[in-house]
Amino acid sequence: MTKPILVANWKNHPKSLNEARMLLRDLSRNALRYKKVSFFIAPPLAYFESVASRAGSFYHLATQDMPPFFHGTYTGVVTPDILKSFGVRLVILGHSEQRALGETNEAVSQKIKTAFRSGITPLVCVGETSRDQDGEHFEFLREQLKLSLAGLNRTTDARKLMLAYEPVWAIGKRAEDAIIPADLAQSVIFIKKVLVDMFGRATAELIPVLYGGSVESDNARALVSGTGINGFLVGHASLDARNFKIIASSLLGK
């Protein structure tokens, strides 16, 4: 049975390297639990060396973004060859915060291809900005998926892809105000249908779909139960070792 996937997106936190090391120490106290899932940590680039030094013990190293080109001379840019040298295994692409800064579906598509060329697994984020009763948000999702994943080979690249459903309207809310399991299940079914249309059923069934958007210790178990997700992409809750342990446990049915 495939392990559930758990990705901790630290964004631009913690505020110091010392706090990052303390967080790793706290997480390591539950290393045996995290070894039961495919666990990735995406820290700020400034903390890469410290986080990379323990990668492989109970987690893998991820990065929060990457440029659309493989290598070259670009001031201020960390290219995939440098990321690979630290042992990066996964890259978060198309995150809602990057899209809010102007990143297009076409730019995400190019980054996905660069990630595959680099041997780094892309975790591609998609999600509607609002949800309506008429279902128009599904058309937004369909277009985002088709444009972001355009040009992928269904028998090679698409089979190594990961997706994160990240409805923008649910981000930053309290657990009780975020997406309800029934709506999440409906969206996952729709995403998988689009994937079948694009890549065929055999390939679509191999693409994990994670959920991100106000994942908390209070709602994680409900979001896992019967919704069809394969894991979580967790933001601020990943900075609290105690709550994050509960989220990991929810993926294991404990």
At 197, list the tokens.
Answer: 């249309």
- Residue 147 makes CB contacts below 8 A (sequence gap 6+) with 105, 106, 109
Residue 30, Cβ neighbours under 10 Å: how many?
16
Three-state SS at 38: strand
Q: Among 107, 67, 98, 95, which residue's Cα sits nearest to residue 83?
A: 67
Question: Is the CB of residue 149 less than 8 Å from the CB of residue 191?
Answer: no
Task: Say what the alpha-carbon torsion angle 216, 93, 120, 73 is, to the nearest 10 degrees.
Answer: -130
Total residues belonging to the chain: 254
Cα–Cα distance measured from residue 56 to residue 139, given in angstroms and rounded to the nearest whole number: 40
Tell me which residues are annotated as active site: 95, 166
Phi-psi map region of 51: left, alpha, beta (phi>0 left; psi -120 to 50 alpha): alpha
Dihedral angle over CA of 14, 12, 219, 208, nearest 10 = -120
CA distance linking residue 248 with residue 239, whole number of Å: 13
* Helix, strand or coil, per DSSP, at residue 251: helix
